[in-house]
């Protein structure tokens, strides 16, 4: 395969200087691969350095409280990644003496590690020829070999894994894996690929037939649904009532301003009572905000609410949080605008009083 050597030479000349490429510590490589799942390099950079400074070794991560790990993950999204990573760190300490496993079978067995990440760690950290097929590689290979089938089909991913396996250059698994990904990230772009700057365009069947813009083929995703979510802002003095979401599911384990889905204020109060066991009395309509997830849109209506003075909070997930501590708990992006507005109004009122 002529293109392999051309690609390797291109990579060695053009690769970006990224933090996870400055060492070969399997733990550090692993952290980078988890963070980079469905997440762009530019987004990961700041998180990565901060995370490794706080959790420099697998033992540091294993010993940390999951709530602190989630705080370091705050805003990155797909929070089960952080929870699985923390769990995997514990398994590495217990079952592997704190040393990151070195066989594909053992790496793949860790929670949060699938075929891609296992291949990435094996090839990048250990220079072993295990394919790591991500979105970049699927795109590059579907064009290079003119694979016209929908790349969301598992059979196509299998085929690409086999093609990559056969292409692995001896003793250069680390560079080859990253070269394929780097080409997809810098040259073989999803739209408007830079074919005339591509080192392997002579071998690219899609380029030869001018089909690079038609590949890869992929099924469309259905439109997102929008729901109305009523949020209760319940403040007593300098404390605010917050809810810790259940460990599993959407935004699992993160803190939120308590709320429910509903059509109107009446439903708001009824559902809130059922969900939290607390009667609320909406006072003033405070603000509206919208948050778009991948499959869902929240139209949020935020109301200042009062509690019955005799009300005591029994719901274990509901907790009074001092405003000064609001920045120390993990709050997802969906609620950051509310949080910031709340902190700003309170601090400006504080300045008035002093």
Residue numbers at the binding site for DNA (CB under 7 A): 18, 20-21, 32-33, 36-43, 75-80, 84, 111-118, 120, 134-136, 138-139, 152-155, 178, 181-182, 184-185, 190-192, 218, 220-221, 223, 249-252, 291-296, 332-334
- Integer Cα distance of 4 and 180 in angstroms: 9
- Integer Cα distance of 303 and 338 in angstroms: 11
Min dist. Cβ of residue 306 to DNA (A): 29
Q: Which of 226, 239, 131, 209 lies closest to 176, judged by CA?
A: 131
Nearer to DNA, 83 or 280 (CB): 83
Nearer to DNA, 319 or 333 (CB): 333
**Bond prior to 216 in cis (omega within 30° of 0):** yes
Min dist. Cβ of residue 142 to DNA (A): 10
Nearer to DNA, 59 or 81 (CB): 81
Q: Are 283 and 256 in contact (CB under 8 A)?
A: no
Min dist. Cβ of residue 351 to DNA (A): 28
Min dist. Cβ of residue 54 to DNA (A): 20
Q: Which of 232, 231, 233, 230 lies closest to 346, judged by CA?
A: 233
Min dist. Cβ of residue 143 to DNA (A): 11
Min dist. Cβ of residue 155 to DNA (A): 6
Q: What is the 3-state secondary structure (H, E, C) of the chain?
A: CHHHHHHHHHHHHHCCCCHHHCCCCHHHHHHHHHHCCCCCHHHHHHHHHHHHHHCCCHHHHHHCCHHHHHHHHCCCCCCHHHHHHHHHHHHHHHHHCCCCCCCHHHHHHCCCCCHHHHHHHHHHHHCCCCCCCCHHHHHHHHHHCCCCCCCCCHHHHHHHHHHHHHHCCCCCHHHHHHHHHHHHHHCCCCCCCCHHHCCCHHHCHHHHCCCCCCCCCCCCCCCCEEEEEEEEECEECCEEEEEECCCCCCCCCCEECCEEECCCHHHHHHHHHHHHCCCEEEEEEEEEEEEECCCEEEEEEEEEEEECCCCCCCCCCEEEEEHHHCCCCCCCHHHHHHHHHHHHHHHHHHHHHC
State the catalytic residue, choosing from 33, 74, 159, 256.
33
Nearer to DNA, 42 or 53 (CB): 42
Catalytic residue flag (residue 33) = yes
Nearer to DNA, 160 or 269 (CB): 160
Nearer to DNA, 280 or 335 (CB): 335
Min dist. Cβ of residue 36 to DNA (A): 3
Nearer to DNA, 100 or 282 (CB): 100
Catalytic residues: 33
């Amino acid at each position: 395969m002529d293109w392999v050597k051309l690609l390797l030479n291109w990579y060695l000349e053009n690769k970006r200087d990224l933090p996870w490429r400055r060492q070969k510590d399997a733990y550090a490589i692993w952290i980078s691969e988890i963070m980079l799942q469905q997440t762009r390099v530019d987004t990961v950079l700041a998180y990565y350095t901060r995370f490794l400074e706080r959790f420099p070794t697998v033992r540091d991560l294993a010993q940390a409280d999951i709530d602190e790990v989630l705080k370091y993950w705050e805003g990155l999204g797909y929070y089960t990644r952080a929870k699985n990573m923390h769990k995997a760190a514990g398994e590495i300490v217990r079952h592997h003496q704190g040393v990151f496993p070195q066989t594909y079978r053992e790496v793949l067995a860790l929670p949060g590690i699938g075929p891609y990440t296992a291949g990435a760690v094996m090839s990048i950290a250990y220079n072993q020829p295990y394919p790591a097929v991500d979105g970049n590689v699927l795109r590059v290979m579907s064009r290079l070999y003119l694979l016209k089938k929908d790349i969301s089909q598992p059979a196509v991913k299998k085929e690409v894994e086999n093609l990559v396996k056969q292409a692995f250059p001896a003793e250069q698994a680390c560079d080859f894996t990253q070269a394929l990904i780097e080409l997809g990230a810098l040259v073989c772009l999803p739209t408007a690929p830079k074919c005339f700057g591509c080192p392997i365009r002579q071998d690219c069947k899609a380029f030869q037939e001018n089909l690079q813009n038609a590949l890869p083929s992929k099924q469309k995703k259905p439109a997102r649904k929008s729901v109305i979510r009523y949020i209760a802002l319940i403040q007593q003095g300098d404390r605010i009532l917050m809810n810790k979401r259940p460990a599993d599911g959407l935004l699992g384990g993160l803190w939120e301003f308590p709320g429910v889905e509903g059509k109107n204020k009446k439903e708001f109060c009824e559902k809130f009572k059922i969900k939290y066991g607390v009667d609320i009395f909406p006072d003033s309509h405070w603000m509206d905000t919208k948050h778009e997830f991948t499959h869902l849109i929240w139209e949020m209506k935020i109301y200042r609410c009062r509690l019955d003075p005799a009300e005591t909070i029994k719901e274990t997930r509901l907790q009074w949080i001092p405003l000064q501590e609001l920045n120390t708990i993990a709050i997802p992006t969906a609620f950051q605008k509310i949080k910031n507005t709340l902190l700003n109004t309170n601090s400006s009122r504080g300045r008035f009083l002093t």
